[in-house]
Amino acid sequence: MTVTLTVLRQASPDDAPYRQTILFETDDMQMTVASMLQKINADPACTDTEGRAVTPIRWECSCLQKKCGACAMRINGRPRLACDALLSEFRRGRILLEPLRKFPVVADLTVDRSILMQNLMRMQIWFAEDAEPDEAVRGLTYDASRCLQCGCCLEVCPNFCADGKFYGMAGLLPAARLLTALPESQKEAMQQAYRKHLYEGCGKSLACHDICPAGIPVDRLLVNANAAAVWKRRPRRRREKPDE
Ligand code: SF4
Ligand code: SF4
Ligand code: FES
């Protein structure tokens, strides 16, 4: 099979972006987009459809197992993890890779997502003292902790921009996790930060719901975090299935 791969390339933030198309030959259509990028970068003789040498394509990865979120990029227009996208998924073998658009491009498919950590630090999302998760809502706590900070949800969120005061679902989930564990006496600062940076900006469209590569039930976490931070109610207990 021949995969027609087009990559939006940009040598540095100051350079103009351009598209480069490569014909990638493989017998293994169960290969991931991440593996394809690795193979292309490992081939010093790789050329594009115009005969130009293909310099190493800059992209990020770490786990290659859908665990770290580093390889998030736009694949045929949809934010996804490159290590979770099989070549066989793409009709006629045509794949377009672009960097996430909500963050500054560093080079090629690598973007600067440091704003995510800065936002968490601004909200002071950490435990100042020992805290015990509320056992009654351990399912919610666990789901919130599965966030990869990949940024895919922010890409489709109509209300998030990197320099805005609304921090999006990537900020909401760590806050939701803290709200299930902080003792009542220590919740006030987190509730205030939540209202300012999360509740007030979220349109509740749930565009972020189906895009999350970790499959986190963001709708349930949103409802419970709003209840805890805005309406000052205890989070609702997750209904456990009989075999859970
Ligand atoms: S519900 Fe809508 S506005 Fe809120 S974080 Fe998700 S996509 Fe953004
Ligand atoms: S909520 Fe999902 S899509 Fe958003 S940053 Fe976390 S893992 Fe990524
Ligand atoms: S490399 Fe870690 S999620 Fe893809």
Ligand lying nearest the CA atom of residue 174: 2
The pLDDT of residue 128 is 76
Q: Of 80, 111, 142, which marks where a domain is finished? A: 111
| pLDDT, tens digit only, all 244 positions of the chain | 999 999 999 999 999 999 999 999 999 999 999 999 999 999 999 999 999 999 999 999 999 999 999 999 999 999 999 999 999 999 889 999 999 999 999 999 999 999 999 999 999 888 777 777 777 788 888 999 999 999 999 999 999 999 999 999 999 999 999 988 888 888 899 999 999 999 999 999 999 999 999 999 999 999 999 998 998 766 555 554 544 3
| The domain boundary residue, chosen from 94, 111, 128 | 111
Cβ-based neighbours of 229, under 8 Å, separated by 6 or more? 175, 179, 190, 191, 194, 195, 198, 199
pLDDT on residue 242: 47
- Domain total in the chain: 2
Residue 240 inside a domain? The answer is no
What is the CA(69)–ligand 3 centre distance, in A?
A: 5
> Which of 49, 78, 111 finishes a domain?
111
Let me know whether 160 and 225 are in one domain.
Answer: yes
Domain of residue 79, residue span = 2-111
In a domain, 237, yes or no: no
Q: Are 141 and 181 in contact (CB under 8 A)?
A: yes
* Same domain? 19 vs 95: yes
155 and 224 in a single domain? The answer is: yes
Distance (angstroms) between ligand 2 centre and the Cα of 74 equals 14
The closest ligand to the CA of 71 turns out to be 3
| Structure tokens belonging to residue 23 | 């014909």
Same domain, 131 and 167: yes
